[in-house]
Amino acid sequence: MTFLRSILLRREAGILIMIVIFCAAVGLYKPQFLTGQSLRIVLLLTPLIMIGAMAQMLVLVARHVDLSIGSMLGFSAMVVGLMYREIPDIYWLVGFPVAILTGAILGLGNGLLVTIFKLPSIIVTLGTLSLYRGLTFIISDARQINRSVIPTELKAMSRTSPIFDIPWIILIAFGIAGITYVIARHTQLGRQIYALGSNPEAAPLRGIDVTKVTLIVFTLAGALSGLAGILYASRWGFVNPSNTGAGFEFQVIAAVVIGGVSINGGVGTVMGTVLGVLLLGCVAAALPLLGIPGSTQNAIYGAVILIALLIDRSVRQRGMISVAGAAK
């Protein structure tokens, strides 16, 4: 019983139950929601958010926040798009290292501002949110990279599959989640990130190089945003200076927080984050199916996020009490 209870008390179980209840409720009205086709739609909606959520999870666990990841996504995607436009003969896969490296440099920029000037990351990344977006306009001359410029092979990654008919872009997203899991759970870096986030003051005493870990976390967040950037070009077939990645940071933070990552640092799991992403994906796919007009969808989407957080909190508080009671 205690074993079962401890499983049910885990954040992940709570989100999983919410996903099941939500999908079942939608399925009552719209049976077509409970089909493989819907699963495909949800999974195709989420790869970019999944990758961004992994980045944001690491940053939040380290007791920081990165508001600039949508702008880093947009800038990296634009750099790659410009490369494809100006050097049409370039081998298409070169876009991946270019995007990841571009994002890593921007992320390192965030990290340096945070560590050198000892500024709160929310302020620094609020600044670079605008700065990186503005630079995207400047390098692109405010012009969109059109579909014809994006290599066919890159666009095909969002449709074609190497295995089980699952498109490349979904496999990459889950691959990144897997790698993040390994980093978080099985490396010294992972342990240091959690230790730094749970108690920044004590971290140096425990032999943690705070500057180094902080720089790595922000650089990783940038690199992952860069990867999401080239996958944006794959998924949507264009790069737009104002739209690409705009508002991405809020989707990602919502998913991560629903997934149980604490904004106070030190707490958060990859599994919870993945489930948070999937819950938001289910909501995004279900609202149009239910015929809810677009103007209302944003409000409902926001309400779902708040309800998910409130349910989770009340379930866990009650759980704590009953566990305490059982211990007596």
Contacts with other proteins, residue ranges (CB under 8 A): 30, 32-33, 37-38, 41, 44-45, 137, 140, 142-144, 146-148, 152, 155, 158-159, 236-238, 240-243, 284-285, 287-289, 291, 293-295
Comparing CB distances to other proteins, the nearer of 72 and 223 is 72
Contacts of 161 (CB under 8 A, 6+ apart): 167, 168, 171
Least distance to other proteins, CB of residue 272, Å: 23
Q: Which is nearer to other proteins, 81 or 111 (CB)?
A: 81
Under a CB-based contact definition with an 8 Å cutoff, are residues 68 and 129 in contact?
yes
- Name the residue nearer to other proteins (CB basis): 28 or 323: 28
The SS3 of residue 67 is: coil
Torsion region of 63: left, alpha or beta (phi above 0 gives left; psi -120 to 50 gives alpha):
left
Cβ-proximal residues to 219 (8 Å cutoff; 6+ apart), any chain: 104, 107, 108, 111
- Give the separation between CA 133 and CA 136, rounded to whole angstroms: 5
Contacts with 16 (C-beta within 8 Å, 6 or more apart), sequence order:
275
Nearer to other proteins, 147 or 318 (CB): 147
Give the number of other Cβ atoms within 10 Å of residue 116's Cβ.
10
- The CA distances from residue 66 to 16, 34, 60, 128, 223, in Å, are 26, 35, 8, 9, 13
- The minimum distance between CB 318 and other proteins, in angstroms, equals 35
Tell the smallest beta-carbon distance from residue 196 to other proteins (Å): 34
Provide, rounded to whole angstroms, the least separation between the CB of residue 198 and other proteins: 35
Q: Shortest gap between Cβ of 168 and other proteins (angstroms)? A: 13
CA gap 150, 148 in Å, rounded: 6
Residue number with CB closer to other proteins (40 or 191): 40
Q: Considering the complex, what minimum distance in angstroms separates the CB of residue 240 from other proteins?
A: 5
Backbone angles phi, psi at 102, to 5 degrees: -60, -45
Q: Which is nearer to other proteins, 144 or 211 (CB)?
A: 144
Residue matched to tokens 């992403």: 277
* Cβ 285 to other proteins shortest distance, Å: 6
Backbone angles phi and psi of 94, in degrees to 5: -60, -25
Q: Which residues contact 218 (CB under 8 A, 6 or more apart)?
A: 59, 64, 66, 107, 108, 110, 111, 114, 121
Nearest approach in angstroms of CB 5 to other proteins is 38
* Cβ(278)–Cβ(53) below 8 Å: no
In whole angstroms, the minimum distance from the beta carbon of 45 to other proteins comes to: 7
CA distances from 238 to 18, 177, 241, 243 (A): 35, 25, 10, 10
What is the rounded CA–CA span in Å between residue 274 and residue 8?
17
Q: Of 62 and 255, which CB lies nearer to other proteins in the complex structure? A: 255
Smaller CB separation from other proteins, 215 or 239: 239
Which residue has 């989420």 as its token pair?
46
Query: Which of 36, 325 has the CB closer to other proteins?
Result: 36
